[in-house]
A and B are shown apart, each in its own frame.
Chain A
Amino acid sequence: MPSFTAKTSTISAALVVLIVLQGFCAVFFLIDIAHDFMEYRQPDFSLLHSSLELTANLALLAGAAVEGIFLAGLLRRQAHAERALSAASGALHDLMEQYFEDWGLTVSEADVAAFTIKGYSIAEVAQMRGSAEATVKAHLNAIYRKAGVTGRSQLASLLIEDLMNGALSAKVGPREDAARHPVQKSGTDG
């Protein structure tokens, strides 16, 4: 099972609590507002007031949905990163996720691709994802097709190539970069 940093766990749990609370309150008040609208003939019914309430609660619900999408993204990135602990992993990881997005990989394909780039075998990936090897092979074929490569080594070399071209140094903060390499120009336009 993946082991998470305490920080990710806390942030995720806090987000879930927030989503649940916002979601429930929005549903609760929307039911309430629906009752108000059904009694629009009553003298104390104000269309403006009720419409504003409706808007506020729909916005609350939308906020909960956005938090859900954000949480899914956070967990996905964390899941892909959990075994990458080298110094470059942060920037390399960003680059990797960017490629997955550009290629239009599905959630499962991106997960398989992350494992594959880190050098895990098909059997290992299947075991870590709780799926059959045939499924992983199908994912791999889709990944290679979408990335326009012929196999595992070409997939990895795409990232290496970008590393060489300085895509990584572009992602390192300029101050940190300058402090470490005072004379070297960073190839930010690569």
Chain B
Amino acid sequence: MTKVKVWDPVVRAFHWTVAVGFAANALLTDAEGKLHEWIGYAIFFLVCLRILWGLTGTRHARFADFPPSVEAAVAQLSDMAAGRNHPHVGHSPLGAWMIYNLLLSLIAICVTGYMMTTDTFFGIGWVEEAHEILVTWAEVSVLAHIAGAVYESRRLGINLPKSMVTGYKEMP
């Protein structure tokens, strides 16, 4: 068992603030209220910050550390299918795809949400519909993300949710 420092404070703070913000806006806040808008702006700001951090941040926070790769993702799927347990220190290839998916979905949700507040697009059907479909997509993605984290924690014997709190992975 070796303890490896993987997630810096920026990555962890981003993860949990966005998680809380998204949950609040998807489930709790009044979609027509000011609070919903402000949380939306905050999430957009955080995502922009995370993208900058992905270019300049610490080793495992950088996009270069988890490039979107079909081959690596298939290799990880095949590890799962064959019951093999090769752990990844930073983001796993499938995890990387999920991150890009969530970042892009959040941006699209923020953009369509903002459009609904402008005079040009206020009350236009397809904008609202797009916003709602994107939110459903993101909700399903979040559920898949949680299921994936739990499944991978069990498969690899590493508590991944805990590592997103403490910043350390306990590699077997």
> A interface vs B, CB < 8 Å?
1-2, 4, 8-9, 12-13, 16, 23-24, 27-28, 31, 71-73, 75-76, 78-80, 106-108, 110-111, 128-132
Q: Which of A9, A108, A130 contacts B74 (CB 8 A)?
A: A9
Interface extent on B, as a size class?
20 to 34
Contact A79 B78 (CB under 8 A): yes
A107 to chain B, nearest CB (A): 4
Question: B residues 72-105 with Cβ under 8 Å of A?
Answer: 73-75, 77-87
What 13 new A-B contacts, CB under 8 Å, besides A73-B81, A107-B82, A129-B86?
A1-B75, A4-B75, A12-B78, A16-B77, A27-B136, A75-B74, A76-B82, A79-B78, A107-B83, A111-B82, A129-B83, A130-B79, A130-B84
B125 to chain A, nearest CB (A): 16
Which of chain A's residues have a CB closer than 8 A to the CB of B78?
A: 2, 4, 12, 75-76, 78-79
Q: Which are the 4 A-B pairs with shortest beta-carbon distances?
A: A108-B83, A130-B86, A75-B81, A79-B82
B135 to chain A, nearest CB (A): 11
Kindly state the separation between the CA atoms of A106 and B82 in the bound complex, as whole angstroms.
9
Contact B75 A27 (CB under 8 A): no
Which of chain A's residues have a CB closer than 8 A to the CB of B140?
A: 23-24, 27
Contact with A along B40-83 (1 / 0, CB 8 A): 00000000000000000000000000000011011101111111
Which of chain B's residues have a CB closer than 8 A to the CB of A24?
A: 137, 140
Which of chain A's residues have a CB closer than 8 A to the CB of B80?
A: 72, 75
Contact A28 B133 (CB under 8 A): yes
Nearest chain-A residue to B71 (Cβ)?
A9
Nearest chain-A residue to B85 (Cβ)?
A130
Which of chain B's residues have a CB closer than 8 A to the CB of A28?
A: 133, 136-137
Contact with A along B129-154 (1 / 0, CB 8 A): 00001001100100000000000000
Kindly state the separation between the CA atoms of A133 and B80 in the bound complex, as whole angstroms.
19
Contact A75 B82 (CB under 8 A): yes
Given that A24-B140, A75-B81, A75-B82 are known contacts, is A2 also in contact with B87, CB under 8 Å in the complex? no
Contact B87 A130 (CB under 8 A): yes
Contact B77 A12 (CB under 8 A): yes
Nearest chain-A residue to B97 (Cβ)?
A16
Which of chain A's residues have a CB closer than 8 A to the CB of B70?
A: 9, 13
Which of chain B's residues have a CB closer than 8 A to the CB of A13?
A: 70, 73-74
A141 to chain B, nearest CB (A): 16
Question: B residues 147-169 with Cβ under 8 Å of A?
Answer: none
A148 to chain B, nearest CB (A): 22
Q: Which of B71, B74, B85, B136 contacts A131 (CB 8 A)?
A: B85
A180 to chain B, nearest CB (A): 33
Which of chain B's residues have a CB closer than 8 A to the CB of A9?
A: 70-71, 74
Kindly state the separation between the CA atoms of A106 and B81 in the bound complex, as whole angstroms.
11
B98 to chain A, nearest CB (A): 11
Kindly state the separation between the CA atoms of A71 and B77 in the bound complex, as whole angstroms.
9
Nearest chain-B residue to A109 (Cβ)?
B83
Kindly state the separation between the CA atoms of A138 and B109 in the bound complex, as whole angstroms.
50
Kindly state the separation between the CA atoms of A167 and B75 in the bound complex, as whole angstroms.
32
Kindly state the separation between the CA atoms of A111 and B83 in the bound complex, as whole angstroms.
7
Contact A79 B84 (CB under 8 A): yes
A87 to chain B, nearest CB (A): 24
Contact B83 A1 (CB under 8 A): no
Which of chain A's residues have a CB closer than 8 A to the CB of B137?
A: 24, 28
